[in-house]
Chain A
Amino acid sequence: GAVVSQHPSRVICKSGTSVKIECRSLDFQATTMFWYRQFPKQSLMLMATSNEGSKATYEQGVEKDKFLINHASLTLSTLTVTSAHPEDSSFYICSASDDPSQFFGPGTRLTVL
Chain B
Amino acid sequence: KQEVTQIPAALSVPEGENLVLNCSFTDSAIYNLQWFRQDPGKGLTSLLLIQSSQREQTSGRLNASLDKSSGRSTLYIAASQPGDSATYLCAAPHGSGNTGKLIFGQGTTLQVKP
Q: Which residues of A contact B (CB under 8 A)?
A: 1, 6, 32, 34, 42-46, 49, 91, 93, 95, 97, 99-107, 109
Q: How many residues of B contact A (CB 8 A)?
A: 23
Give chain A residues whose Cβ lies under 8 Å from the Cβ of B43: 6, 93, 104-107
A-B contact count (CB 8 A): 58
What's the minimum C-beta distance from A14 to chain B, rounded to whole angstroms?
Answer: 22
A21 to B102, alpha carbons, bound, how many Å? 21
**CB pair B102 A46 closer than 8 Å:** yes
| Stretch binding the partner chain, chosen from B14-22, B34-42, B65-73 | B34-42
**CB pair B89 A93 closer than 8 Å:** no
Q: Which residues of B contact A (CB under 8 A)?
A: 32, 34, 36, 41-46, 49, 51, 89, 91, 94, 98, 100-107
Q: A102-B100, A106-B43 are in contact. Are A43 and B34 (CB under 8 A)?
A: no
10 contacts between A and B (CB under 8 A): A34-B102, A43-B107, A91-B41, A95-B100, A97-B98, A101-B34, A102-B91, A104-B45, A107-B43, A109-B41
